[in-house]
Amino acid sequence: MQSGPVHWQKLWSIVVLPLLLNGCGANKTVLEEIVEQVYTVEPNTDVSIHNVDGAVRVYGSDLDELRVRSTKKAYGRERLNQAAVNVSTTPGAVSVTAKLPPQPKWAFSDHSGTVDCTIVVPATASISALDLNAGEVLLDSMHGREVRARLGDGRIFARNCLTNVDLTVDRGTLTLSYDWWEQEMFSANVTVAQGNAWIFLPTDAAFHLLAHAAHGKIANDFNTFASSQNSSVRVMNIDQVINGGGSATIQIRLGKGNIKIAEANP
């Protein structure tokens, strides 16, 4: 059931890149197709996003609309046509799902392709789930109830999301940054199983910092005392109140990798 009018347009389809597969002498070209869909949504709508391979970029805006611009890429027209981005809307909720054709079993067959999604939503919307197996996630200027994202392999960037943030990376890098600070109650939970985490915060940010690196190091520009380290098991922990603590909590957990908490002004 749609919550508002929808307009969509297939913008173009072009051949962009020749590819030589594994020295077999077979030239393959990458086909690309761009589709844009626009929906009217409620300011506090709940959004869930699912993709397999590619990029998901989410931007908060002042408009009460959901705009999905999807770029499909595949080696061949049949596979390009099989890839799709489905948008399902109900009052107060939206689901965006990118589907790809099955990966061929033959070692020298074409890849299944990728889908990149650029999604513009009301800044006050919530991202209750964003799942991506491999690729890149960007979250920018979200201020709704929560933002939750999980990435299997790749990179997550979250910028100026002054809300309850929960970000997980199985393997890769995670960057959380704030250009300014507001004295509001929110939390940021960051978990990286294998990789590195970078946290950029204004000098005057007030928060409770909890950081744990099971196998790695923690560098903290806000550090006013030595972090505890158990050299026998290479564990580092920080439990520190920054600039009086305020109402915000930032918690970072790494399995194998390093944490950098940087004091950065815009």
Boundaries of every domain in the chain: 6-263
Inter-CA distances, 95 with 40, 55, 121, 190, 210, Å: 14, 16, 12, 24, 33
Ordered per-residue pLDDT tens for the chain, 266 residues: 444 544 444 444 443 444 433 344 444 688 999 999 999 999 999 999 999 999 999 999 999 999 999 999 988 888 888 889 999 999 999 999 999 877 665 544 445 689 999 999 999 999 999 999 999 999 999 999 999 999 999 999 999 999 999 999 999 999 999 999 988 889 999 999 999 999 999 999 999 999 999 999 999 999 865 444 444 334 589 999 999 988 999 999 999 999 999 998 75
State how far the Cα of 134 lies from the Cα of 171, in Å rounded to an integer: 10
245 Ramachandran zone, left/alpha/beta (phi>0; psi -120 to 50): left
Tokens in use for 157?
């960037």
Which residues neighbour 246 within 8 Å (Cβ) at sequence distance 6 or greater?
Answer: 183, 205, 206, 207, 208
Tokens in use for 127?
């991202």
State how far the Cα of 263 lies from the Cα of 244, in Å rounded to an integer: 16
Residue 125, number of CB atoms within 10 A of its CB? 25
Q: The whole model's pTM is what?
A: 0.84
